[in-house]
Amino acid sequence: MSDQDDDYVYDEVTGEWRPASEMAAAAQAGQAEVRDAAGNVLVDGDAVVLVKDLKVKGAGQTLKQGTVIKSIRLTDNPEEIDCRHEAIKGLVLRTEFVRKR
């Protein structure tokens, strides 16, 4: 018997002590994979390329097709990524408009 079989974690949602392996499996099942326009899986820190020109609301700018966005961050919504561009801070893009670089 390994030490991991004996580890229990307190689940604040249910108020019960549950096996650590069960909690890890539940956490993984709850996370949806984030995929780009080509179907590639995206993770935090990836660089992406825009697949079409996008007008940015509020900034009065257009990001051109082929623009590289570095160091993305995933959000709670699997259809959106949080990123930063030189001219635009706090940019949120839909995954249907980006491709992994």
Using one digit for the tens of pLDDT, what is the confidence trace for 34-76? 999 999 999 999 999 999 999 988 888 899 999 999 999 998 8
Tokens at residue 60, please? Answer: 């009065």
Q: Are 62 and 80 in contact (CB under 8 A)?
A: no
Question: Stretch 79-87: mean pLDDT, rounded?
Answer: 89
The predicted model scores a pTM of 0.67
Domain 34-100 is in which class?
Answer: mainly beta
15-37 CB burial, b ≥16 within 10 A, e <16: eeeeeeeebeeeeeeeeeebebb
Domain boundaries along the sequence of the chain: 1-31, 34-100
